[in-house]
Amino acid sequence: MIYHIVRRFASSQTKSVLMALRRSTGLPFGVCKKVLDEVGGNLEKAEELIAVRARSEGELKSRALISRKVSYGLLGISLRNDRSLGIIKALCETDFVAKTPEFRKFVCKSAEAFISGHEYESDTFTYFSDIESVSEEAKTFRYETLSLLGENIKFGGGIIFNAQSNAQLAVSTHPKNNEKFNNSLWGNFLGVVEYQCTAKSNAIELIAQDLCSHVIVNSPTSLHRKEALQESSDELTEDSQQNESSQENVDEDEDDEDEIFIESSSSLLDQKSTRNPSQTIRELCENSGIEIKRFLRMDMSSDFNTTKLC
């Protein structure tokens, strides 16, 4: 009787360890069971053995797949202490792989590894063309994921954004996801707002999140109206020089209409709030005690090397 109880308990323990290894690695049950048998059922040793083999296999596969085109992927975002933000772009061959839980987890873990290697330095915005040169851990994650998913996987650059000493950062991604890995997120679109606020509360944090979502949806190009007008003026300088005579005949009222359009479409503070269209972002911030310092919008088509804060 005791023998059967002990045997049944041991069997349940083995199944529990097997399930845990399956969840942590994403490998088939058969592979997990084989590795557990090799290490005497020790979960920690099994995970270490799988990681070593995956790195080795992934490095070999990486060399074999290096010429394959990578056109899909995700942005990975990791926020630390509400003041330091690491952003990476991870690329793969197919949309199918980009949507897998394994790839999403890889993207988040790599973003976290990327930011963990940097100390906070007030008011900096730095581009890195080669993530793996500053994060050996991110390279390891890439090899492991490449081995698991069987596609060419590459990094498309990274950015470290440190807020001003008296400000903090809020982040939102699209699509919205609840699959947080520590303080990391994945997404196809990214909105970041750097702001100051006299009081901290959950309500303020939610408003800051809404502001980030607004940036993603409405794609503002400047914070203030004057900046939007100047940006538009710079873009049209060449055309205006070529058509100087026709510009002289433009009616003042039409100029005013153009300014209003630029103001509403490009300037963040003058845009109507997505959540509450009855007020502008400026009014929302004034009512909430929030001062937006800068913002950033990115998507998978963004060139990390030329990305700038607004």
CB atoms within 10 A of CB 238: 9
Residue 202 CB partners (closer than 8 Å, separation 6+): none
**Of residues 256 and 113, more confidently modeled:** 113
Alpha carbon distance 244, 55 (integer Å):
63
Q: Establish how many alpha carbons lie within 13 A of residue 164's alpha carbon, considering only the half-sphere containing its beta carbon.
A: 13
Which among 120, 174, 145 is positioned nearest to 58, based on CA atoms? Answer: 145
The yes-or-no verdict on residue 4 having pLDDT over 70 is no
Q: What is the pLDDT of residue 201?
A: 84
Nearest CA among 228, 196, 197 for reference residue 293: 196
**HEC string of the chain?**
CHHHHHHHHHHHHHHHHHHHHHHHHCCCHHHHHHHHHHCCCCHHHHHHHHHHHHHHHHHHHHHHHCCCCCCEEEEEEEEECCCEEEEEEEEECCHHHHCCHHHHHHHHHHHHHHHHCCCCCCCEEEEECCHHHCCHHHHHHHHHHHHHHCCCCEEEEEEEEECCCCCEEEEEEECCCCCCECCEEEECEEEEEEEEECCCCHHHHHHHHHHHHHHHHHCCCECCHHHHHHHHHHHCHHHHHHCHHHHHCCCHHHHHHHHHHHHHHHEHHHCECCCCCCCEHHHHHHHHCEEEEEEEEEECCCCCCCCCCC
Contact call for residues 290 and 268 (beta carbons, < 8 A):
no
Strand partners, 280: 272
- What pLDDT is attached to residue 198? 80
Residue range 19-38: mean pLDDT, rounded: 70
pLDDT by residue (tens digit) across 42-73?
777 676 666 666 666 656 566 676 788 999 99
Q: What is the pLDDT of residue 15?
A: 74
CA dihedral for 226, 227, 232, 238, sign (positive or negative):
positive
Which residues sit opposite 191 in a β-bridge?
172, 297
pLDDT of residue 73: 97
Tell me the pLDDT tens digit for each residue of 200-240. 788 899 999 999 999 999 999 999 876 555 554 554 454 55
pLDDT at position 89: 97
How high is the pLDDT of residue 257?
42
Q: What is the pLDDT of residue 51?
A: 67
Q: What pLDDT is stored for residue 148 in this prediction?
A: 85
Q: What is the pLDDT of residues 237-265, one digit of tens each?
A: 545 555 544 444 444 444 444 444 444 57
Structure tokens at 273: 């709030």
| Residues of the chain above pLDDT 70, percent | 72
CA dihedral angle for residue 35, residue 38, residue 39, residue 44, rounded to 10 degrees:
-10
pLDDT at 55: 63
What mean pLDDT, rounded, does the chain reach?
80
Mean pLDDT of 99-116: 94
According to the model, what pLDDT value does residue 183 have? 77
pLDDT digits over 143-175, tens only? 889 888 889 999 999 999 999 999 999 999 999
Measured distance CA(36)–CA(44) in Å, rounded: 10
pLDDT-derived band of residue 6, with 50, 70 and 90 as boundaries?
very low
pLDDT at 302: 93
